[in-house]
Amino acid sequence: MKLADGQARWYRLRRSGLVERYDTPERVASVLVGVQAQILPAAGLSLWNRAPGLTHARFDGLLHEERTLVKLWGQRGTLHLYPSAEWPLVYSARSEQLTWWERSLEARGGSVERHNALITAIEGMLRERGTMGRSDLRTADLEMEDWHFSSWGGIFADLVRRGYACHAPQAGGEGRFAHREHWLPGLPWDPPAPDEANAELTRRYLHAYGPATVHDFAYWRGVKVSAARRWLAALGDEVTAVEVEDQPMLALRDDLPALAEAPPEREAWPVRMLYRFDPLLLAHKDKGWLVEPHNYARVWRAAGHIEGNLLEHGRIVATWRYDRKPSGLTITLSPFVPLPAYLRAAVERIAPTIATFFGLPLVGLQIAD
């Protein structure tokens, strides 16, 4: 099947929940295979863009009170929110991938046996206490090294990978972790086999973000291309080749009818203000379908930072940030070229709803010339 670029963009926006929203934040996190969450309010805005009626207070409640969302290190070794019910699936899919900390230990010839014993000891402490922070580890009677306490993960990243722990709310400015059985005592722990789990995540990736190349998929998962090829091959004839503007890509066979649909006229496409690290921005290695090459560095910054952006006709036409204070929210938008009147009007309509998400008034909207 040969597809135009507009057909692929329209399909991805629809599957991402940016045309018609999904019913719940949990459904969004499931369809998108997680929502990146190292900046928690940004994850909230990713969900807000795709699920109706979400507020920051409600988002915090889903994560920390109702606990229907869980925060884990996921694909690419980065923090994500997943539906709590799918923790066993996510755990199994990552169970055979060592963390950066485990790989570093092996590379320098450290004792894996000693490391595993340390994991067992900390898991026991966490099970007994319910939640712990790095300060608790520092006062524990355990032989540990500086890297174990790293704010980038350290020993806790390994406990999360092994399915023992998840992120809990901060306390006193310190990140804390909860034992799975303390945080979600009623969660059935019945992980599928790793091959089955990785097949399911591969299937979901293509359904949400396809068409895509093998390199796109490897980039999204944070794995070698050889692993990506293996997981794609495991789906057999569920996967088929397509061409997007003559570029070979892959898609799910069952998604071909939806991909073949003609997109609407430009004015019928939604205008969306996506915030930093939105899932749509992280799904493909090749960003050419989203932004012109000369504007790439304005969105994808140094050190892995990704700016919030204004999406029009499925393309990025501006970046934006907010400044949140008790008195209200200020939004600053930086267009790549001057905005036409209809697009400026759309921004003026959307900006107050972002402030409402935070429970604040919009006190300023600055659109650069």
Q: Which residue has the tokens 């399909």?
A: 11
Percent of the residues in the chain that have a pLDDT greater than 70, as a whole number: 100
Residue 113 pLDDT > 90 = no
Two tokens, residue 309: 């952006």
Q: Where residue 161 falls among pLDDT bands split at 50, 70, 90?
A: very high
How much is the pLDDT for 257? 98
Packing angle of the helix pair 194-209, 87-94 (nearest 10 deg): 110
SS3 17: coil
Region of poorest pLDDT, from 82-86, 100-104, 189-193, 271-275: 100-104
CA 294 from chain center: how many Å? Answer: 25
CB 122 within 8 A of CB 142: yes
**Residue 44, Cβ neighbours under 10 Å: how many?**
26
Two tokens, residue 140: 């524990």
Q: Which residue has the tokens 């991402």?
A: 16
Write down how long the chain is.
369
Comparing C-alpha atoms, which of 308, 336, 311, 312 is closest to residue 321? 308
Mean pLDDT of 220-233: 97
SS3 276: coil
Comparing C-alpha atoms, which of 266, 230, 260 is closest to residue 243? 260
How much is the pLDDT for 162? 95
Partners of 369 in beta bridges: none
How much is the pLDDT for 143? 80
* Distance, CA of 191 to CA of 12 (rounded, Å): 29
Residue 102 pLDDT > 90 = no
